Amino acid sequence: MPFSPQTTAFPPTARVDSAVGWAEIEQLQIEMPGMEIGTLVDLFKEETPGLIAQMTAAITTGNADGLRRAAHALKGCCANFGARPIEALCQTMETAARAGDMQGASERFGPICEELRRVTAALEWASHGGKR
């Protein structure tokens, strides 16, 4: 089944709550007063499926550099929202791919997809005015 970030949970459960950094999200709202957090969340939801697709393609073709770049990009994207758990997973994948360890890197793919669903759910909640 292709990855879909549309999985939501309202209100977020405790399991989803820890997926993002609420202080970072508040900071975003302070620094970008003219922009709704929902706009950034929409951008996030537009960007991430493409990155997951890049990961899938890189794993399928054994492209370590492509996998490294996709993991790095997803990590940076998630860092905007203080999503530490997925950042850590992406970092592990990036490091393994950089070392040419495709097996080790690929093993992180499943947990990354699962964590991304949690992040997306938490951001959906935030975009509707929800706070921790």
From 6-14, 71-79, 107-115, 124-132, span contacting another protein (CB under 8 A): 71-79
Q: How far apart (Å, rounded) are the C-alpha atoms in residues 32 and 36?
A: 8
Q: Does 63 bind another protein (CB under 8 A)?
A: no
Q: How far apart (Å, rounded) are the C-alpha atoms in residues 17 and 66?
A: 31
Minimum distance from CB of 115 to another protein (Å)? 17
Q: Does 36 bind another protein (CB under 8 A)?
A: no
Listed in sequence order, the residues at least 6 apart from 28 whose beta carbon sits closer than 8 Å to its beta carbon are 37, 40, 80, 81
Q: Does 76 bind another protein (CB under 8 A)?
A: yes
From 8-16, 79-87, 107-115, 124-132, span contacting another protein (CB under 8 A): 79-87
C-beta of 17 vs 24, nearer to another protein: 24
**Alpha helices of the chain — where are they, by DSSP H?**
14-17, 22-31, 37-61, 64-79, 84-98, 102-106, 109-127
Q: 17-32 as b/e, with b when 16 or more CB fall inside 10 Å? A: bebbbbeebeebeeee
Q: How far apart (Å, rounded) are the C-alpha atoms in residues 106 and 45?
A: 22
The residue within the footprint of another protein, chosen from 6, 27, 29, 61 (CB under 8 A), is 27
Q: Does 31 bind another protein (CB under 8 A)?
A: yes
List residues near another protein by CB under 8 A.
24, 27-28, 31-32, 34-35, 40, 43-44, 46-47, 69, 72-73, 75-77, 79-80, 82, 87, 91, 94-95
